[in-house]
Amino acid sequence: MGGFDWPVLLQTGLRGLGLKPAEFWALTPAEFQLMLGAGSGAMPLRRAGLDALSQRYPDAEEVKDD
């Protein structure tokens, strides 16, 4: 009977998704699969994607009333 590949799962959760250990261990398998993009046809947004969006759509500077 095969088991889980814990090193790969931990690396994916901690490094890939940026979860803290307690957050990783609190997830159900269904929640973890959802975070990995299971069923959506798309992978979750990674840091590089977020950086690209931030550059494309920067936050507007606040206008201060004097």
**For 13-53, what is each residue's pLDDT tens digit?**
999 999 999 999 999 988 998 888 877 666 677 899 989 99
Task: Identify residue 31 by its one-letter amino acid code.
Answer: E
4: in domain = no
2: in domain = no
5: in domain = no
Residue 1 banded pLDDT, cuts 50, 70, 90: very low
62: in domain = no
Q: What is the model's pTM?
A: 0.53
- Domain of residue 31 covers 10-56
36: in domain = yes
Question: What domain count does the chain have?
Answer: 1
Task: Give dist(CA 45, CA 25) in Å, integer.
Answer: 21
Query: Can you read off the two tokens belonging to residue 6?
Result: 């814990």
Task: Give dist(CA 57, CA 47) in Å, integer.
Answer: 15
pLDDT of residue 36: 87
24: in domain = yes
